[in-house]
Amino acid sequence: MYDIPLFDLNYGEEEEKAVVQTLKSRWISTGPKCAELEEKFAKMLNVRYACAVTNCTAALHLACCVLGIKSGDEVICPSLTFAATVNCIRYVGATPVFADICGIDNLCMDAEQIEELITEKTKAIIPMHYAGFPCDMQKIMEIADKRHLFVIEDACHGPLSDYKGKKLGTIGDIGCFSFFSNKNISTGEGGIVVTNHEEIYKKIRLLRSHGMTTMSYQRASGHATAYDIANLGYNYRMDDIRASLGVVQLDKLREDLERRTQIREWYCARLMKRDDIAVPFTDNQEFVSNYIFPVVLKNSNAEKRDTVRNRLHEKGIQTSVHYPAIHRFSVYQEFAGKLPNTEYVTDNEITLPMYAKLQEKDIEYICNAVEECCKLV
């Protein structure tokens, strides 16, 4: 066990009561709580439609499906991301084309590089808003509009993150969010898809549940007595137990994120002074989710980074790496290109603890430990 873990759940009696109430309702599969979560999430993001699903991987897969991405198509995406961002491209038979990140000060996909990667086969762009900080969506949308490409936002890190008057996930054609256990909104497993396009929304809802024209809750409520299978769909439904957790988590979200903003300020006040550490996204002025707190060691290598992490662990501080580069995994090596910034960051990034319960004394202890450990390598 760590004295300071990487993450801690923002759970209390409210979540327990919500689950018990759902169990007592006798409706635990997709039903009224999922509908409540969808309505609440759409309102929070000021987007027209939201559809709850089993996880963000399902959300990304459905996005690719409904936009008609298929074998022979290419999709531009980052390599510095979790595997799901890229797996969804392969699920539909398309080819991932990796764009590099901006650099150690901005770990998002480099929008300036996108245009040179576009070919006649390019069908879509999937920007991933790293740590909840926005990609250059203005540039990305300009390219997409000019080249007639779809944009699927992987906003799993960024609920309520702002970008030029909009929320991340609502700028492209489709936005995908994660409710995994360590995310800002946690239901254990879960996710949600958002869009402002009615036809896209209808297709997502259809494919979410086996392509069925009506679902069990609708039939049980007397809205229908039969159904058709209109398309080859999937079982990507969220259940009401998890949705009840999500409803409570949404009520806590703003306060949680504001607390994370304070924690980031404490970190930055200490670590930005150092010449051997880069703190990404320090030029960002907008409100963001601060899902994680990444730092990048300068003039370093993977061995030095791992030594620092091991010493931090000895001091009771849990850390992580976000992320191993996708193009280095065995299954994706055939798609690898020249990604020098991605490769440097994946070898030298350390994710430090970030959650609302952290106190200023905890951040002081972590930063002292980071400074001490860095001096020894």
Q: How far apart (Å, rounded) are the C-alpha atoms in residues 110 and 98?
A: 10
Identity (one letter) of the amino acid at 91? Y
Task: Give backbone dihedrals phi and psi of 51, rounded to 5 degrees, phi first.
Answer: -135, 115
Task: Determine if residue 46 is left, alpha or beta; phi over 0 gives left, psi from -120 to 50 gives alpha, anything else beta.
Answer: left
Instruction: Indicate which residues carry an active-site annotation.
Output: 183
Residue 78 burial (C-beta neighbours within 10 Å; 0-12, 13-18, 19+): buried
Among candidates 178, 200, 198, which has minimal Cα distance to 189? 178
Asked whether the beta carbons of 304 and 314 are under 8 A apart, the reply is no
Q: How far apart (Å, rounded) are the C-alpha atoms in residues 327 and 325?
A: 6
Identity (one letter) of the amino acid at 278? A
Asked whether the beta carbons of 24 and 246 are under 8 A apart, the reply is no
Q: Give strand pairing partners of 77.
A: 98
